[in-house]
Chains A and B, each alone.
Chain A
Amino acid sequence: MASAINKLLDWMLSGLGLSVSADSAVGYIVAALIHITLIINLVAVGALVFIWLERKISGRIQDRLGPTRVGGKFGWLQTLADGLKLITKEDLMPDGADGFLFKIAPYVSFAASIAAFIAIPFAGGPYPWIAQHLNTGVFFVVAVLGLEVFGVILAGYSSASKWSLFGAMREAAQVVSYEVPLGMCAVVPVLIAGSMDMVVIGNQQAGLFTNWFIFHDPATFITFWVYLTCATASVNRAPFDLAEAESELVAGFHTEYSGLRWSFFFMAEYGSMLSVSILASVLFLGAWNGPIPVASMLGLTAANGDVPGYIGNLLGLLNVLFKGVVGVSVMIWIRWTLPRLRIDQVMATCLKYCTPIAAVMFLGAVVWQYNLPGRTFFGLLAAPQETFAVDEGWAALPTTTAEPAKPAMVERGAATSLAPRLAANQGRGN
């Protein structure tokens, strides 16, 4: 996008007799600003929508109507009205609180929640819609989502409230429990794709839904459910919402928060829910590929020109968002159905059950890949395969071999795509 913006700027400024070169820093800065504006708006509007959705869904589950008045028949502006109320509330801080940490904690959580979206692709193909195309995207997203915990722990520590402290300690105990199986689950699709690049992972699932990694083999199918469990735990949603546990810890880590700061915690929570759901859709549910490859059947691909490619990407974006919303809705559904686990039970669930299961599934995926490379569970159905050349940036890595380190085409199956990289690694003496 940066070079495109540079070209645009060049065209605009040419009338003034100025010019911007294609790799000028200006384009990158403007592109970064545009991206971050889009992402912040996505998270903020997403939170607005999800809070409304949560109220409506919980209302329906509980035989109520939910909000009905603000903003028309369905009360869809209720969240905005509540946001206005929160902004106008008095800015309170407990006397004994550690002022700096107390003030910074919600923003730490919120920033971490937003940062994950930097590496999340919203559409694929050769020209993916992604803020920063990282070749270690999965790793980055999982790592950054873990940062959100710092905000929670800081809030609990700095609030000078015993309940907050309990919430913070629980969060700390919880994070070491779910991060392990979550990481192991995320590794399984990486193993199959042979890449940590989320665009590559998504592109490999193109075609019919049988190509989605959830249906790749029995191991990935089970891994998906383990991932869903751990993802729910990672965003502090019921039945793993121990850090706020309103029936035990009053409100846990955000007991002393009110007004805008409190709403930032809230937005961070919903932002993280969306990001883990989109991560699930990219890793397991075919990312921007619908169940049936309508876009490519209609010829809406980048190969047929810019405009069809753009429309195809737009459909992909809708796919990603739809899958994300479905994921969030499932979490909402779970929250209003199940009781809360106890802290020792959460740790037991994550460490004693999820971790071994994820490890065995990882092994299962390895065995499948080794014996049936490039084959999916549904068999052996020859689904239409689409491959895209994606610049993974491997060329930038220092290599000492004569072998080309940059694969020209990333194809289905780990065996082919891994080979040059393995060679490169051996060349470096690893």
Chain B
Amino acid sequence: MSTVDDPRTIEFDVRTDEMLVNMGPQHPSTHGVLRLVLRTDGEVVSEVTPHLGYLHRCAEKIGENLTPRQFIPYTDRMDYLAGMNMNLGWALAIEKLMKYEPPEKGRHLRVIISEMGRIASHLVGMGAYGLDLGTFSPFLYAFRERERILDLFEEVCGARLTYSYITVGGATADLPPGWLEKCEAFLTQLEPIIVEYHTLLTTNSIFIKRTAAIGVMSAATAIDYGTSGPVLRGSGVDHDLRRDGEEIYTAMYDGYAFEVIVEKNGHYPKDHQYPAVPQEAILGDCWHRFYVRMLEVMQSIDLVRQGIDRYSRASGSYGEPMKLNQKLPKGEAYLETEAPRGQMGFYIVSNGEAIPWRARARSSSFCNLSVASELCRDCLIADVPAIVGSLDIVMGEIDR
């Protein structure tokens, strides 16, 4: 009984079809080889389905054929933007199985190195997010700073991407002489530059328009999907394994002063020198996830400084790397550490031989990505890169 007078009827008569679009695996803003299948109606996306497996390299199976120290290089290639933190996660899991405690100097060395890795990783996250939103320059600025960190890492272990530096029992070598001063000088240079990034991105009105109130994830949703890291904290959940983790991991940060970067009453810790949260932003949106990352860089700078101070005062050895073919005690161990992208867990089962019977990795990006289809419901196409970019995933870690 439709009449042409009713505008709703006319609108209904205009038949539109849904279109399925493959975003990826070869797409500029899917951070590697992620494939998203978008169900679109014009510019509106009704459904996003992530498809994985384009970077699967059987890392877990390889872990069952190598001794723990031989497996270290494979952990580098999981989250290739934070190799040091991956090394640390695996090393700590084995150490938990072996009930080994690294010496004090080794602990401080690990704090310095892993927090530097976090800075490098978050810088890439920041730059790539700018790229997702269509601005190219912040990406190159971020890489300019990251290069300095890579230079420092190169001096430490000879590699710029796949370090294999932190290893079971400590590290492969001590920090070279004069390295701490260079590191300190770099941090002093980096700090004011971060303020520039805030002017360029965080407070840019177009940036706020593109990220504020986009992809809002409630704390409940964030917990339900098992997200972690800045993605979880961006939703206002006060959880950081550096403080809330297992004893063997938190012992590393014993005596360090740091606050978990999470919003409390509209404010973030350490945000006094930065602009306040814009009115448009809602807790749990892309802007908050980005801001948490930016503040964590400041947090890490602080931690590295404390680490340098403690390391230079500590005496003794930096640790003793485990022998290549040392037999593992019978049993199993699972340990999660706070990698830049969230909780990275390693699980090892040993039957008393040098080679683990089972090695498994729990990826943070995998859980963080799983929430994408929830966040992208009924958004616009342009929001898909904005949301997926704010989750800051690395496909190498998801597919392993």
A→B interface (CB under 8 Å): 58, 61-64, 162-163, 166, 169-170, 238-239, 241-242, 245-250, 336-345
Contact, CB under 8 Å: A339 / B206:
yes
Closest to A165 in B: B19
Partner of A343, one of B130, B137, B382: B382
Q: Which residue from B131, B141, B204, B209 sits with its C-beta under 8 Å from A63?
A: B141
Flag if A62 contacts B136 (CB, 8 Å): yes
Contact with A along B12-43 (1 / 0, CB 8 A): 00000001010000011100000000000011
Q: A339-B204, A341-B206 are in contact. Are A246 and B382 (CB under 8 A)?
A: no
| Closest beta carbon of chain B to A221's beta carbon, Å | 22
Q: Is the CB of B134 within 8 A of A238?
A: yes
Which residues on the B side are within 8 Å of A339 (C-beta)?
130, 133-135, 201, 204, 206-207, 210
Chain A residues, CB < 8 A from B27 = 250
Q: List 28 A-B contacts (CB under 8 A).
A: A58-B136, A58-B137, A62-B141, A64-B140, A170-B43, A238-B135, A241-B134, A242-B382, A245-B382, A247-B131, A247-B134, A248-B29, A248-B381, A248-B384, A249-B381, A250-B27, A250-B28, A338-B135, A338-B204, A339-B134, A339-B201, A340-B133, A340-B210, A341-B209, A341-B210, A342-B380, A342-B382, A345-B210
Chain A, residue nearest B26 (CB):
A250
**CB-CB < 8 A to B381: which residues of A?**
166, 248-249
Q: Is the beta-carbon distance between B134 and A345 smaller than 8 angstroms?
A: no
- Measured in the bound complex, the distance between the Cα atoms of B381 and A143 in whole Å is 31
> Judging by beta carbons under 8 Å apart, are B380 and A340 in contact?
no
Separation of A120 and B28 alpha carbons in the complex (Å): 39
Please tell me if the beta carbons of B380 and A239 are within 8 angstroms of each other in the complex. Answer: no
B383 adjacent to A342 (CB under 8 Å): yes
Contacts of B132 in A (CB 8 A): 247
**Chain B nearest CB: distance from A259 CB in Å?**
20
A247 x B19 contact (CB < 8 A): no
Residue of A nearest to B206 (CB): A339
Residue of A nearest to B379 (CB): A342
On chain B, the residues within 8 Å of A342 by CB distance are: 209-210, 380, 382-383
Is the pair A62, B29 in contact by a Cβ cutoff of 8 Å?
Answer: no
Chain A residue numbers with a CB within 8 Å of B140 are: 62-64
B144 within 8 A of A: yes
Chain A: CB-nearest residue to B384: A248
Question: Which residue of A63, A248, A250, A338 is within 8 Å of B382 (Cβ)?
Answer: A248
A62 to B135, CA, bound (A): 11
- Extra contacts besides A169-B42, A338-B135, A338-B206 (4): CB < 8 Å: A62-B136, A63-B140, A247-B385, A342-B209
- CB atoms of B137 and A62 under 8 A apart: yes
Q: Which residues of B contact A170 (CB under 8 A)?
A: 43
Q: Which of A248, A343, A345 contacts B209, CB < 8 Å?
A: A345
The interface residues of chain A lying within 8 Å CB-to-CB of B131 are 247
Q: Are B206 and A239 in contact (CB under 8 A)?
A: yes
Instruction: Determine if B134 and A340 form an interchain contact, defined as CB atoms under 8 angstroms apart.
Output: yes
Assess whether B29 is in contact with A247, with CB atoms less than 8 Å apart: yes
B209 near A337 with CB under 8 A, answer no
Q: Which residue of A is nearest B22, CB measured?
A: A162
**B43 in contact with A343 (CB, 8 Å):** yes
| Binary CB contact string for chain B from 170 to 206 against chain A (1 if under 8 A, 0 otherwise) | 0000000000000000000000000000001100101
Cβ–Cβ < 8 Å partners of B137 in chain A: 58, 61-62, 336-337
Cβ contact of B385, chosen from A61, A162, A248, A343, cutoff 8 A: A248
Residue from A166, A250, A338 whose CB has the most chain B CB atoms within 10 Å: A338
